[in-house]
Amino acid sequence: MTKDFKYLILIVAIFISAVIETDIYLPSFPDMMVFFNQSQPDIQKLLTWNFLGLCLSGPLYGPLSDCYGRRKLLLLALIVFLLGSLITLWADSFTLMLLARVLQGLGSGGCFTLGTAIIFDIFQKEKAIEALNKINMLVPFIMAAAPLLGGYLNAKYGFRANFAVIAVCVSISFSICLFFLEETLPQNLRNKFEMRGILLNFLRVITNLEFVQLTTIISLVFAGFLLFLSSSALLFVADFGVSKFHYPYYQFSLLLAYLGSSLSCTLFVKRKGIAFVKRLGLLSIFLGCSTLAGVTFWAPKNPMSLTLAMLPYSCGFIWVQTPYVTELMALMPDIKGIVASLLTSLRLLITAGIIGLTAEFYNATISPITIAITFISGLICLLSFSYEQSKAAKE
């Protein structure tokens, strides 16, 4: 086994639990509303509070890992993740369930932040793009399988079964990292732990215009994708009459489009270049939001049409995200941990805010979701244009 292949497997093991904990339980939202006696906006707090934990975790893991290395911090994150997962198995009150979701977020945030930093520890810029694309070819399979598995487990055994699967996956990830993951940040490349220095590095990152532009683009494109997934879980089942056995297939089709764009991304980069992939992604996002707006007007209660309308957006999501994440991580290579942590935190904070705000306007129709995604898509296009113009001027 080559070193590169070994680390790709390990990084997937790091990401897998964090990836499924967002998607696997979404088909359970209607049943959880009944069990906890909560409204639609309230039940979505299980997602937004989880993102709150993720946001809080980033500023902790990133700078500490730049000082003390990635491995110890990652093992700590997985322990917190496992604790939160175990609490979800027996929590009977909604408050305790929310607390467990925050703990899961605090743990899974370490997986995302430290996993991303490890990629850029091991691989250089061009190889990092290739590594990200290889991971993006595998992760969507997991993401696509998660709602199908979650829908089946929820219908057959109840929503707790989904959280049991998360707990098992976290346990496996912890065991793999404990026994097989070596430290990836050499001692001579670590920063000395100084609170003033860490705060100055945070200030250095958040005042960098390119960082702000790229992070906002990446956050918005992710927010639009997850907004539709999380909102449709309730809208399609509770209001449009879709069977909870069949809903996971709607979610699966969007993730399948995500998978297709992941598979094609490396090929497009090699043959057409990064600029082409960015333009293709932006065009797909614009096409997706335009089609969704049209379907919202002509067939607002047709789940199949609404899902098909989101397919171009799902493709554009990865075509925009992959090149921009790579450029972002190359901005300040000496503090990759802090850059990765702030990217993770801000992306999820923006996503949680958009999902929470849209939930407040929930009216049993697709309209609030469509308006939000249209607004998001417009911002993405404007910010991308602004970033590319300033980048070209600088070059």
pTM: 0.77
187 in any annotated domain:
no
186 in any annotated domain:
no
48: nearest Cα among 383, 356, 330, 284: 356
Token pair, residue 123, equals 């691989």
Residue 1: pLDDT over 60: no
Residues in the chain: 395
- Per the rule left: phi > 0, alpha: psi between -120 and 50, beta: everything else, 275 is alpha
| Mean per-residue pLDDT, 358-374 | 91
297 in any annotated domain:
yes
pLDDT band at 119 (very low <50, low <70, confident <90, very high): confident
| CA gap 54, 30 in Å, rounded | 24
272 in any annotated domain:
yes
236 in any annotated domain:
yes
Pair 343, 22: CB distance under 8 Å: no
Q: Give me the pLDDT at residue 137, please.
A: 63
| CATH number of the domain where residue 310 is located | 1.20.1250.20
Residue 73: pLDDT over 80: yes
285 in any annotated domain:
yes
| CA gap 249, 61 in Å, rounded | 36
Q: By residue range, what is the domain housing residue 74? A: 3-181+192-394
CA 367 and chain centroid, separation: 24
Question: Percent of the chain beyond pLDDT 90?
Answer: 42
Query: Which of residues 41 and 209 earns the better pLDDT score?
Result: 209
Residue 290: pLDDT over 90: yes
Q: Give me the pLDDT at residue 133, please.
A: 66
Compute the radius of gyration of the chain from its Cα atoms: 20
What is the domain count for the chain? 1
Residue 323: pLDDT over 80: yes
The torsion of the CA quartet 30, 32, 35, 37, rounded to 10 degrees, works out to -80
Pair 24, 255: CB distance under 8 Å: no
33 in any annotated domain:
yes
Report the chain's mean pLDDT, rounded to a whole number: 87
| Mean per-residue pLDDT, 377-391 | 93
Q: 342: buried, middle or exposed (CB in 10 Å: 19+, 13-18, 0-12)?
A: buried
| CA gap 233, 364 in Å, rounded | 12
Pair 103, 91: CB distance under 8 Å: no
Instruction: Read off the DSSP letter of residue 28.
Output: G
Max CA separation in the chain (angstroms):
61
168: nearest Cα among 151, 153, 183: 153
For 346, the 3-state DSSP assignment is helix
Q: Give me the pLDDT at residue 304, please.
A: 95
364 in any annotated domain:
yes
